[in-house]
Amino acid sequence: MDKEHVKGAGKKVEGSIKEGVGKLTGNDKLKAEGKVDKAEGEVRKAGGDVKDAFKGKK
C-alpha cells in the first residue's frame, strides 16, 4: 500500500464522518462535503492502483 492508497482511505473515512454528521444534524452542506471527500478518496485509491499496476505490484 503506497501513500496514495493511504490518503484515499483517509479521505473516504473523513467523508463518511462528515456525511454522517451532516445527516444527523440536517446540515446538507456538510453532507455534500462528505460525499465529495468520499469521491476524492476513491479517485486517490484508483490512482494508487494505477501506480501499482505500472510497478507490477498487482
**Amino acid symbol at 28:** D
Q: How far apart are CA 42 and CA 58, in angstroms?
A: 18
Torsion-angle region of 27 (φ positive above 0: left; ψ -120 to 50: alpha; else: beta): beta
The domain spans of the chain are: 3-53
Alpha-carbon gap, residue 39 to 1, rounded angstroms: 19
Distance (Å, whole) CA 15 – CA 50: 22
pLDDT class for 2, splitting at 50, 70, 90?
confident
* Mean local confidence (pLDDT), 28-40: 97
- Alpha-carbon gap, residue 23 to 51, rounded angstroms: 35
pTM recorded for the entire structure: 0.82
